[in-house]
Amino acid sequence: MTLNTATSGSIPLYSAAQMHELDRLAIEAAGIPGYTLMNRAATAAWSALTARWPQARNLVVLCGAGNNGGDGLVVARLARAEGRSVRVLQLGDEHRIRGDALTARTDWLEAGGSIEPFSASALNGADLIIDALLGTGFAGHLDAHWVEAIDAVNGTALPVVALDIPSGLQADTGYVADTAMHAQLTVTFIGHKPGLYTGEGPAHAGDIVCADLGIPDDVLQEVAPLALLQREPVAGLLSTPRPRTAHKGQFGHVLVIGGDHGMAGAARLAGEAALRCGAGLVSVATRPEHAAQISSGCPELMCHGVAEARQLQPLLDRATVIVLGPGLGRSSWAQALLARVLTSAQPRVVDADALNLLAQDPVHCGHCILTPHPGEAARLTGQDSRAVQADRFAAARMISEQYGGVTVLKGAGTVIQSPDRVPVVCAAGNPGMATGGMGDVLSGVLGALLAQGMALPEAAITGVCLHACAADRAARGGERGLLARDVIHALRDTLAACRS
């Protein structure tokens, strides 16, 4: 059995139903008794929490009536055996406890432990709380007494260790319907769950370690993952040295279209990000009054004033890739530019107001990367943003099916959905990215990778992770006050790290 953190490469993510199936296969096909798995889970959790909080002497274990509660009871027994003070608080109907959880309960009581009903006052004096209430099987809404208990824990300043998944967080989606436990550490079992890495998951899970419980590889291979987790850019183009005879014509020509009145900066950010990510040439088509301003700020950009859509055609003819949307606005000028671009054959990155215009008059664009945030995704799907966030995987899939191409649903745990492929979640990034211009930088990054020959799915995954990793690098001096320009400045070092 091993403990690991998700640090690099593509890691499979399993739904709650898939985890149930893996558990069944481990018991029935691999011959590992269920109570053995429970003890392995508890041992892994105990090892992880004592490594993190070795001085914690007074523990409170919150147990539900299912196997997650059984895991907690075994942890309690291990802690007591090592001389820690342990209080076990029960939520849920104890008469419903069955199977391995009942065995764990019996073993705890026979070891001299006791169980008492949950009360907020019982949390007083604890050094650490172990959340073993609900586990991955939870979906839907919590009854009032569960909400009160979780809120009582969240109202303390005590560290929380969640077993498998924080209670109240939905394992498949990262959605929180009512409330959810805020853990500083989550020890998840057998495999990683999608909900830990997208939606509300990152805000509730804290640091995540996964204990494989010694499940054989041939059992794991019986279940295809729901999604993949990616923390770093995909190797390939970024790690390949350029030939000494390279010239700018070999690395594509990105055309950024946008920058309506008052939004010239968005087009410049996208263009500069494309240059920093290795595009050979970058042009910007913008309002005529903005062209000189953008050129003076970044002379490497070739800026063209476009008053009418017909003036766009010569620029389209020379471009390898089109990035449409940064600062585009929704005026008649913007609508005319979008209509002209939709007749072109080049790969396209469609962002910002170009997405809002596309939502008003949907068309299929199979050779596009669409980069909506939840609000734009809601308009594209005819939902509200709460529905999008309730199941980000379903929303991304819906957009790709309706509009074609690859969907990049931005936010905590960005979801990348390509047609007929398993979705990918990017686990890099930080809250400092919640500021204007970050999406413009991402669109430029994606455009540059497409211009250098990456296929749409690989460019989307690589670009999202590259952008997020650059933001993490830029945030080493602090997340608050992070600017989109800081991320652009960090792109070269991040690219260099990919080649090392």
Whether residue 251 lies inside any domain: the answer is yes
- Are 279 and 148 in the same domain? no
Whether residue 375 lies inside any domain: the answer is yes
- Are 154 and 203 in the same domain? yes
Whether residue 473 lies inside any domain: the answer is yes
Q: What is the pLDDT of residue 479?
A: 97
- Are 71 and 214 in the same domain? yes
36 phi, psi to nearest 5 deg: -65, -45
d(CA 453, CA 475): 30
- In the listed set 225, 259, 288, which residue is the last one of a domain according to the structure? 225
- Are 346 and 425 in the same domain? yes
- In the listed set 182, 203, 225, which residue is the last one of a domain according to the structure? 225
d(CA 166, CA 285): 48
Q: What is the pLDDT of residue 335?
A: 97
Q: What is the pLDDT of residue 242?
A: 87
- Are 220 and 271 in the same domain? no
Give the CATH number of the domain where residue 492 resides. Answer: 3.40.1190.20
Q: What is the pLDDT of residue 2?
A: 60
- Cβ neighbours for 443, distance < 8 A, ≥ 6 positions apart: 256, 270, 273, 323, 325, 326, 349, 351, 352, 371
Q: What is the pLDDT of residue 1?
A: 62
Q: What is the mean pLDDT of each run of 10 residues along the chain (500 residues)?
A: 59 97 96 98 98 97 97 98 97 94 98 97 97 93 96 97 98 96 98 97 97 96 95 79 91 97 97 97 97 94 96 97 98 97 95 97 94 98 96 98 97 96 96 97 98 96 97 96 98 86
Whether residue 348 lies inside any domain: the answer is yes
Q: What is the pLDDT of residue 236?
A: 73
Q: What is the pLDDT of residue 444?
A: 98
Whether residue 231 lies inside any domain: the answer is no
- Are 72 and 154 in the same domain? yes
Cβ contact 344:338 at 8 Å: no
- Are 164 and 310 in the same domain? no
Whether residue 347 lies inside any domain: the answer is yes
Tokens, residue 84 = 């820690």
Whether residue 31 lies inside any domain: the answer is yes
Count of helix runs (H) and strand runs (E) in the chain: 18, 19
- Are 380 and 295 in the same domain? yes
Q: What is the pLDDT of residue 500?
A: 59
**In this structure, which amino acid lies at residue 278?**
G
- Are 136 and 279 in the same domain? no
d(CA 451, CA 239): 16
Question: What's this model's pTM, rounded to 2 decimal places?
Answer: 0.95
Give the CATH number of the domain where residue 190 resides. Answer: 3.40.50.10260
Whether residue 293 lies inside any domain: the answer is yes
Q: What is the pLDDT of residue 7?
A: 45
- In the listed set 225, 248, 274, which residue is the last one of a domain according to the structure? 225
- Structural domain of residue 248, as residue ranges? 237-499
The H-or-E segment that residue 350 falls in is: strand 348-350
Q: What's the structural domain count of the chain?
A: 2
- Are 179 and 203 in the same domain? yes
- Are 44 and 125 in the same domain? yes
> From residue 71, how far is each of 37, 67, 117, 433 by CA, in Å?
9, 6, 18, 37
- Are 213 and 241 in the same domain? no
